[in-house]
Each structure stands twice: as structure tokens, then as C-alpha cells.
Amino acid sequence: MKKKELLEKIAPCSLMCHTCSAYEQGVISVAAKQLSKYTEGICEFYEKHSPNEVERFKIFQEELTKYSAGKCSGCRDREHHGCSIKGCFILECTKERDIDYCGECAEFPCDKTQKIFEEEVYLQWLKGNREIKKWGIEGFWEKNCEKPHYKVYKE
């Protein structure tokens, strides 16, 4: 994958826009759109053959519609519609330093990020940027592109 594509899919903090539920070009939004397409007609089928399933399917369709409508254009775009971390300064900071990721900064890890991230996200930020320093962005992508975005909350 080209660097430009990776920059669109990976935020400057190293978090994966690619797997974020709010990202309009992310795997969740794309999969929800595809699933919505393939479920067309199921509600009508249930109405005719399994009336007890209609209400559950309608709820499922509402959720698919919600996840299909990702409103964020990525953390590198200031038009991310407020879905990113409140008070995040990382995009501006990386631009000022002419780097793509925090891990490329001579001051990494800086203390400023602990103030904007909750602990799970801070640890993810730290690990992600260390991996970028170690493997480069291509290696980081290969290792992380299929990891669930929110898994850190489950661990």
C-alpha cells in the first residue's frame, strides 16, 4: 500500500481510522453498507414467513444504517465532525514538526498526550508509536490493519 493511502487510514497518533466505527471509508462502514445491500428483502420475507423475527430484523437494519453512515473523514482531516478525542492537538503538532506520526518525533513519548487520552487509549498510543518506530509504517499496518479498534476496552 502506498504511503498516501496509509496516511488516510492511520491517524497521526497511530490509532487506526481504518477500523474505527465512525470513519466513512473504514471497514465497519464499508461492511455495514455491503451487508445492508445483501439483506434487502429480508424484512418482507420475515413478514410473510417468520413474523416473530420482523421486529428484531428492523432493529438490526437500524444498526446497519447507523454504522453505514460513518461521518468522519479521518483524523488527518479537520472535518472529522467531532468524533475524535476532545482536545486532540496531535494533527497540528505533527504538522508543525513535519512528521507523520508521534513515534517519528524526537520528543516521543511526550507527556502532553496523557492529558487527552484515557489510560487504555494512552497505552494503545504508546504501543502503536513504538511499533511505528521499530517496523516503519508499512510493518505497523501489516501487523495491525485487522485488529479491532475498540479491543483495548475488552482487555
pTM of the model: 0.83
**What confidence tens digit (pLDDT) does each residue in 53-98 have?**
999 999 999 999 999 988 888 888 766 555 667 778 888 899 999 9
> Within 10 Å of residue 117's Cβ, how many Cβ atoms?
19
Could you give the angle at the alpha carbon of 13 between the alpha carbons of 115 and 99, nearest 5°?
115
The residues of the chain scoring below 70 in pLDDT are 78-84, 155
Torsions phi, psi of 116, nearest 5? Answer: -100, -20
Predicted pLDDT of residue 88: 84
The set of cell numbers assigned to 56 is 428484531
48 secondary structure, DSSP code: H
